[in-house]
Amino acid sequence: MSLIRFKQRIGTHLAIALMLGAGVGITTVMLSIVLQASSDPAPGRSSALFRPYLDARPDALRSGSPDPGQALTWPDAKALLGQGGTWKQAAMAGGAVTLSRPGESSARLRARFATSEVFSVLGIAVVQGRAWTAEEGHAASRIVVLSRALASRECAQDCVGHRLELGRRSYTVVGVAEDWHPVPMFQGDLTRRPFVEPDEIYLPVETAIADRLTVVDGTAIWGGGPGHGSCRGQRVMASIVGVAAHCG
């Protein structure tokens, strides 16, 4: 009798099974998102990390949208870096670079453009070589620090001194950092990239500005006009830089 009734209403039973499966799947996904969004991305450091917000927009834009966004202009970021002598500070932006390999297909890498203190502020250990210095950053030196995962793919042994072709330019590897993947990615633009793969390569933000490397964090553009083409491009790059500061 059960088999006969099941065959008579097989469509209804299948619909119920699909609805139950969809409900379980949606619940699992929601719980996963809630757990990730509510987790501490920097255990032991969250209470000492601060991110300033400044509204540098013209009055006309400010009245139209009260939210200044998460980004700082590059001049504001530099001013904060210069004033915070007793704080460890880092300005940074999420980016992307293209790695060219001779005789092989190119690879797109997730990059972090930052000032020299980024590793000490965020607590990222440099396991080989060193980070770049503030002087090297100011000089827009073409040097990079690789994540351990990227270094294991690109170098057979020691990566320090290795040369990489990024966007048709040659960069020198000065260090290798431990893999670091906070969830959510609080050091970037939380409105665009909170749950993405970890950064694979780090380089000075001044170098990224000088070489016009691609920014993937949110950007804001204002001003510009006839005769201000190059200045307009600089504002795009400057507008995405955020600052994190670690007290201690």
Give the model confidence (pLDDT) of 63-106 as tens digits. Answer: 766 666 667 888 888 888 888 777 888 888 888 999 998 778 88
Q: Please give the DSSP secondary-structure letter assigned to residue 199.
A: P
Residue type (1 letter), 85: G
Task: Check residue 241 and give its pLDDT.
Answer: 53
Which of 136-140, 162-166, 239-243 has the least mean pLDDT? 239-243
Nearest Cα to Cα of residue 110 among 126, 93, 127: 93
Average pLDDT over residues 130-158: 92
CA 163 vs CA 94, 113, 132, 159: distances in Å:
22, 18, 15, 9
Residue type (1 letter), 242: G
Cis peptide before 184 (omega within 30 of 0): yes
On whether the CB atoms of residues 242 and 71 are closer than 8 A, the answer is: yes
pTM to 2 decimals? 0.75
